[in-house]
């Protein structure tokens, strides 16, 4: 266990959070750490544009029609997953010519119609114009505002799924890069986290880029936007979470730190790391062990490694615990079906079924 310093505060019964049940031993709350200077290596730096840039910045290709306004998720499997999870969808744009000859696409359109989603047949050039990566596969969904959760929803999910057992919440202190944000959400969902918390200003939010870089994980994991990260940590503490910040200034690494039970893992921004106030609010600090000469991992890589260390330390308990159910996203599907153009859906019982995995690139390829 890492050494602790400063105003120590005993915390009984690790694992279940404050006063909860768990598998670890006693913990001590770390003392205050002055200043925020040099706190960048806990996250690393993210340079350049993310590979998952928003379609808002996509250039219209020569000869293509003007790109419609709005946010879109594209591709058949992404559309099928959005439909399955009840993700807010305003309308579906379907390539007219491709829809006429493609039974799989026709089946998906049938499913959209059954869900009362407005379907419009458009020229393929229109889909080309709005596509962010050229793999729309003949369909794009215009989506509504992302249904963010409240922090209370995430805590309630932890209570319902985990009781006083292990639960993970990933808290991002002003991570700004869309690619890093999406990758972190993906890792958090894969290890079974109950939610992600982000700031409502000066931070990456859920956009089309996040759908891609998270490989659809944003549809399965509640994400809460809060006005004050430090206050959110206090609320998580009150709910039994032990707050652990990732920082190069930690005295011990994650192999020594007790990450059992209810953990709120705090990751700092790409440039400045964890802010001073948030750092002081954390119960403990930890870092990844390092042998090489490179300064650090970036925030997405570091978060993934720490999420898996939480999973490893809690594996024995988690194997006996139920998996937290994916939240049902708020639905804003249209009430009336309006099928424009001359698209005629086909019914084909031999059309392959979608397995629910969201791949935002070509079929069979994840471009995160």
Q: What is the DSSP secondary-structure string of 29-55?
A: E-------TT--TTT----S--TT--G
| Predicted local confidence at residue 78, as pLDDT | 81
| Predicted local confidence at residue 322, as pLDDT | 62
How far, in Å, CA of 264 to CA of 237, rounded?
8
Looking at the predicted structure, is the pLDDT value of residue 23 above 60? Answer: no
| Predicted local confidence at residue 227, as pLDDT | 96
Residue 171: strand, helix, or coil:
strand
Token reading at 340: 């424009």
**Stretch 95-106: mean pLDDT, rounded?**
77
Q: Is the dihedral of CA 177, 304, 87, 113 positive or negative?
A: positive
Let me know if 8 is exposed, middle or buried by CB neighbors in 10 A (0-12, 13-18, 19+): exposed
Task: Provide the pLDDT confidence category of residue 161 given band limits of 50, 70 and 90.
Answer: confident
Rounded to two decimals, what is the model's pTM? 0.67
CB atoms within 10 A of CB 166: 30
Task: Provide the pLDDT confidence category of residue 8 given band limits of 50, 70 and 90.
Answer: very low
pLDDT single digits (tens) 171-196: 999 999 999 999 999 999 999 999 99
Task: Provide the pLDDT confidence category of residue 338 given band limits of 50, 70 and 90.
Answer: very low
Task: Provide the pLDDT confidence category of residue 296 given band limits of 50, 70 and 90.
Answer: confident
Token reading at 256: 């020594």
Looking at the predicted structure, is the pLDDT value of residue 48 above 90? Answer: no
Residue with tokens 């998270």: 214
| Predicted local confidence at residue 243, as pLDDT | 98
Token reading at 82: 């959005």
How far, in Å, CA of 343 to CA of 106, rounded?
9
| Predicted local confidence at residue 162, as pLDDT | 84
How far, in Å, CA of 104 to CA of 353, rounded?
9
How far, in Å, CA of 177 to CA of 287, rounded?
21
| Predicted local confidence at residue 100, as pLDDT | 62
Residue with tokens 């059992």: 260
Q: Is the dihedral of CA 235, 221, 148, 304 positive or negative?
A: positive
Task: Provide the pLDDT confidence category of residue 41 given band limits of 50, 70 and 90.
Answer: very low
How far, in Å, CA of 203 to CA of 197, rounded?
11
| Predicted local confidence at residue 195, as pLDDT | 97
CB atoms within 10 A of CB 303: 27
Residue 287: strand, helix, or coil:
strand
pLDDT single digits (tens) 126-159: 888 887 667 788 999 998 888 899 999 999 999 9
Q: How many residues are there in the chain?
A: 368
How far, in Å, CA of 169 to CA of 165, rounded?
13
Please give the sequence-ordered ranges of beta strands (E in DSSP) within 81-222, or none if there are none: 89-95, 118-122, 139-143, 167-173, 195-199
**Stretch 163-167: mean pLDDT, rounded?**
90
**Stretch 63-71: mean pLDDT, rounded?**
49
Indicate the range of 60-74, 180-194, 232-246, 272-286 predicted with least confidence: 60-74
Looking at the predicted structure, is the pLDDT value of residue 71 above 90? Answer: no
Looking at the predicted structure, is the pLDDT value of residue 17 above 70? Answer: no
Residue with tokens 């011990």: 252
Looking at the predicted structure, is the pLDDT value of residue 47 above 70? Answer: no
CB atoms within 10 A of CB 26: 11
């Amino acid at each position: 266990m890492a050494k602790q310093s400063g105003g120590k505060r005993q915390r009984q019964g690790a694992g279940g959070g404050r006063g909860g049940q768990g598998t670890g031993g006693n913990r001590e709350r770390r003392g205050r750490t002055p200043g925020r200077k040099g706190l960048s290596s806990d996250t690393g730096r993210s340079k350049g544009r993310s590979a998952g840039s928003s379609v808002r910045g996509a250039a219209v290709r020569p000869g293509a029609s003007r790109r419609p306004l709005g946010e879109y998720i594209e591709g058949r499997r992404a559309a099928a997953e959005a439909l399955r999870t009840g993700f807010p969808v305003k309308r579906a744009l379907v390539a007219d010519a491709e829809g006429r000859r493609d039974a799989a696409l026709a089946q998906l359109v049938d499913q959209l119609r059954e869900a009362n989603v407005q379907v419009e047949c458009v020229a393929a050039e229109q889909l080309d114009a709005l596509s962010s990566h050229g793999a729309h596969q003949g369909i794009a969904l215009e989506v509504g505002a992302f249904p963010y959760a409240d922090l209370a929803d995430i805590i309630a999910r932890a209570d319902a799924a985990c009781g006083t057992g292990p639960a993970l919440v990933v808290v991002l202190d002003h991570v700004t890069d869309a690619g890093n944000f999406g990758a972190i959400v993906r890792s958090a969902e894969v290890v079974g986290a109950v939610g992600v918390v982000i700031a409502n200003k000066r931070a990456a939010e859920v956009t089309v880029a996040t759908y891609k870089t998270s490989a659809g994980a944003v549809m399965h994991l509640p994400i809460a936007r809060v006005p004050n990260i430090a206050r959110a940590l206090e609320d998580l503490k009150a709910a039994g979470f032990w707050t652990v910040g990732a920082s190069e200034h930690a005295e011990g690494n994650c192999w020594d730190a007790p990450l059992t039970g209810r953990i709120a893992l705090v990751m700092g921004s790409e440039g400045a790391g964890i802010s001073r106030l948030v750092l002081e609010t954390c119960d403990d600090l930890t870092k990844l062990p390092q042998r090489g000469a490179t300064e650090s991992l970036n925030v997405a890589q570091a978060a993934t490694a720490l999420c898996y260390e939480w999973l490893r330390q809690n594996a024995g308990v988690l194997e006996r615990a139920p998996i937290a159910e994916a939240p049902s996203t708020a639905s804003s599907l249209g009430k009336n079906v309006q099928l424009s153009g001359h698209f005629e859906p086909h019914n084909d019982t031999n059309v392959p079924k979608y397995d629910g995995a969201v791949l935002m690139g070509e079929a069979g390829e994840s471009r995160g």
